[in-house]
Amino acid sequence: MTISPALEVPATDAPVFGPEIELRSQITVELVDHTASDLGVVRAARVSTAGEAAHREERGDAYIGGLIRYLMRSRHGSPFEHNSMTFLVHAPIFAIRHMMRHRMWSFNEESARYKDLKNVFYVPDRDRALKQEGKPGHYQYVPGSEEDYELLSTATSEAYRSAFREYQKMLDAGIARELARMVLPVATFSTVYATCNARSLMHFLGLRTNRADAAYVSHPQREIEVVAEQMEDEFARLMPLTHEAFEKFGRVSP
């Protein structure tokens, strides 16, 4: 199967093993649509006292920032819900399933019932810690040796090649896509539209990023943290005062 230009791996990315499959370490998130602003939060909050006039109010950053900090500190969360951000995510299926644990989002994912999946599979890059030490709830992750990375690359590429070969055999024989897909691993890359509001996104970021300064320090799997970090960059750009308050008050969703 030929990989489309949009899915080609840069020369600096994970190596390609054989003509059948492509190994990729890059997980990407693109903001494709939004109705998100700090002023929108203020207008939603002000409607309780200003009524319909709130929609026409124009406020400066000092007022907006002060009210947003008050809302965040006091856990008045609903004004942060009147907006949306839609992201296009390219990630291995197991990372997308982590996203789907957050049920306040809306998702539409490419379907292996209706289209042939591409032969693109995830493999961690050399910066990914490989070894797990400790007991449940207190794991520490440490780098692996060069031999560990070679083992991982070899084992995954062999498994992926075998799985994709059998997948193609079934498709070529006319087996329904919804059945043929069963042999593919959760490391297969998928594409999903994911839409949320700022309140839901802050909840997601609080759980799916590791920040020592957070009120409740979380320890997510690195692959979903990569997704969260890219979303947070866009959130901070679209709603800088809201993001600043989120940081100030412990990275806890109101």
Q: What pairs with residue 85 in β-bridges?
A: 34, 196
Catalytic residue from among 97, 208, 211, 251: 208
Tokens at residue 81, please? 């819900």
Secondary structure (3-state) at 91: strand
Quick check: is 101 catalytic? no
Residues whose CB is less than 8 angstroms from the CB of residue 196 and which lie 6 or more positions away in sequence, other chains included? 84, 85, 102, 104, 105, 106, 204
Among candidates 104, 105, 108, which has minimal Cα distance to 191?
Answer: 108
Residue 134 to residues 41, 67, 138: CA-CA distances in angstroms?
Answer: 43, 44, 6
Q: How far apart are CA 128 and CA 123, in angstroms?
A: 10
Residue 138 phi/psi, 5-degree rounding, is -135, 35
Residues whose CB is less than 8 angstroms from the CB of residue 150 and which lie 6 or more positions away in sequence, other chains included? none
Q: Strands 106-109 and 189-196: what pairing? A: antiparallel
Helix, strand, coil proportions of the chain in percent (round to 5)? 45, 15, 35
Residue 120 phi/psi, 5-degree rounding, is -120, 125
8 Å CB contact between 88 and 29? yes
Active-site positions?
Answer: 208
